[in-house]
Chains A and B, each alone.
Chain A
Amino acid sequence: MIVKGRVWKFGDDINTDVIIPAKYLRSIDKSIWPKHVMEGIDPTFSSKVKPGDIIVAGKNFGCGSSREQAVLAIKWAGIAAVVAESFARIFFRNGINNGLLLIECKGIYNSVDEGDIIEIDLDKGIIKTKKGDLSFKPLPPILQEILNSGGLVEYYKKKVKKH
């Protein structure tokens, strides 16, 4: 499978408070979350981002609060994948659990500029950038299985509930 999209670039230590500020969390209307995605850094981001776009970030993406709304805001804004130097662990689990493609790829930050088109080849484990190809490690089997199921809810229905 190939995921191709336009890059939006963010730095190191992007925390879940800036991905979705706490004032929007206690909302009955969940559709407001993608409207405020990344507001803590760029209040205009949600109006610029298009379905299929890719976020590229530095180290420790998604650190801080365990709020799963951070993943949902990104996913529902139509972001196809987040590629980062590294992820904070709770965000990483939340992402995979919701079927959001997260790729840890060393060297990605310095290989792309905002607006670039990159191509992620999931089968080969390669990201094509204008500065060349970067390889990334596949997910551990359990995570790959959850992601392939479309998230932990579907995984549960398929694997656990049936037995």
Chain B
Amino acid sequence: MSTAIEKILSYSIGKNISAGDFVEVNIDFAYFHDGSGPLIIDVLKEMEVSNIFDKSKVAVIFDHSAPPYNDQSATLQSKVRKFVIEQKIEKFHDIGEGICHQVVPEKGYIAPGMIIAGADSHTCTLGAFGAIAIGMGATDMAYILATGKTWLKVPETIGVECNGKLKEGVTSKDLILEIVKIIGTDGANYKVLEFFGDTIKNMSISSRMTMTNMAIEMGAKTAFIEPDEKTIEFLGRNGKKFKSDSFTEVISIDSSSIDPKVACPNNVSNVKSVSEVEGIEVDQVFIGSCTNGRYEDIYEAARILKGKKARVKLIVVPASKSILIRMIKDGIIDILLEAGAVIGVPGCGPCLGVHMGVLGENEVCISTSNRNFIGRMGAKTSKVYLASPLTAAASAIEGKITDPRKYIK
């Protein structure tokens, strides 16, 4: 009896291991972005490493400052670009290609059963593809680039079983916010959250990625969803499929009972039903990020915004260039522009509070992203409410937090 995570690690190492063991593993794929890149390069220099372990297993994506917002961020990007050329890294995606966690699976760089490391906390998103995907800091990534290996403490897995059909107007974002409320900000610390059940089985890959993306907000080492035919279709490649047959504990959720949720400032677990916060005035609406910047998210928001006008700043940032192209081809972009939206360059956008929609003193934003910490999106006195793309779109129309179900026919 073991978990999918234990099985993947056992398979990779070539011997049976279980939760609690300390192991050294080979990394099958590693990636970093323009935010973590400059420090990683400095650490590699300190280590006196001149060549990375395997350029075919490494991707570099510029998403945090896309395009750079000041001379220093541009200079730091140049430094990473130079490194990419020196190391002959072909899997390089410059500004405007999208967010690393979106681009890596879109390009089919990963497959189920892989062990993946990313120098970004939201690397756990890729657990949606039946892989182990772990977020790390710059020094750990530099060590991986030098050796192709890292050490891990084999984690326990908490099963989160979601059964039932989500109600109209309720999305995987509302479901995961409810789960964050139940588990808390550190309830999964050092553990893996595996999502399963018919709700997950019936979800699109986009919706699954929203679930796994937020595992880090509960302290999890990563998240996992058993791969299926949708996974293989999205990645355009097959992999090794592993299945859990035991968990440390199981949390059961009745998905059909969930209402639209909002995570209130300044803690992601401060989750309330939209009805409890309806009417709170907002100055800005952000639809995008590695949590909710996919085509499905923007399409659903556009359905609500069609023929309406946003009363407040509405910033929409697709998670990748391919999503933006699809929005243009399908006319979604026209609906959004006519509704008064500003379309940002594919990337992280204003989520981390440095550009393309930074909040001023006392400004309030309803955002589809994943963090509502003090000052996360700008001034220390600004406030961020986290919600689904539907709730965000409805709130844009009214200029205040709004239950999206009144706009769904």
Contacts and interface: CB of A to CB of B under 8 A. Distances in A.
Interface string B255-297: 0000000000001000000000000000000000000000000
Contacts of B186: 13, 59-60, 63, 86, 88
Interface in B44-72: 46-48, 65, 68-70, 72
B340 to A, nearest CB: 27
Interface string A79-105: 000000010111001100110000000
B240 to A, nearest CB: 26
Given A28-B75, A66-B119, A86-B186, A21 B39 contact: no
Contacts of B47: 153, 156-157, 161
B189 interface: yes
B143 interface: yes
B99 to A, nearest CB: 14
B219 interface: yes
B174 interface: no
B136 A66 contact: yes
B139 A64 contact: no
A141 B143 CA distance: 18
A7 to B, nearest CB: 22
Contacts of B234: none
A42 to B, nearest CB: 11
B137 interface: yes
B46 A153 contact: yes
A58 to B, nearest CB: 10
Interface stretch (A49-57, A67-75, A113-121, A129-137): A67-75
B352 A65 contact: yes
A112 interface: no
Contacts of A86: 186, 189
B121 A66 contact: yes
Contacts of A89: 189-190, 219, 221
B190 A153 contact: no
Interface in B367-390: 371, 373-376, 380
B137 A41 contact: no
A28 B75 CA distance: 8
Given A59-B186, A66-B121, A26 B43 contact: no
Interface residues of A, number: 41
Interface in B315-339: none
A27 B138 contact: no
A67 B35 contact: yes
Interface in B181-229: 185-186, 189-190, 216, 219, 221
Kindly list the 4 A-B residue pairs having the minimum CB-CB distance in the complex, ordered from nearest.
Answer: A94-B137, A60-B186, A26-B73, A97-B139
11 contacts: A15-B371, A17-B375, A23-B353, A26-B69, A26-B72, A67-B137, A88-B219, A93-B136, A97-B140, A152-B143, A160-B146
Interface of B: 22, 35-36, 39, 43, 46-48, 65, 68-70, 72-73, 75-76, 119-121, 135-140, 142-143, 146-147, 151, 153, 185-186, 189-190, 216, 219, 221, 267, 352-354, 371, 373-376, 380
Interface of A: 13, 15, 17-18, 21-23, 25-28, 40-41, 59-60, 63-69, 71, 86, 88-90, 93-94, 97-98, 140-142, 151-153, 156-157, 160-161
Given A13-B186, A17-B375, 20 more contacts: A18-B374, A22-B354, A26-B70, A26-B76, A26-B354, A40-B375, A40-B380, A60-B186, A66-B119, A66-B120, A67-B35, A69-B39, A71-B137, A89-B221, A90-B121, A94-B140, A142-B151, A151-B139, A156-B47, A156-B146
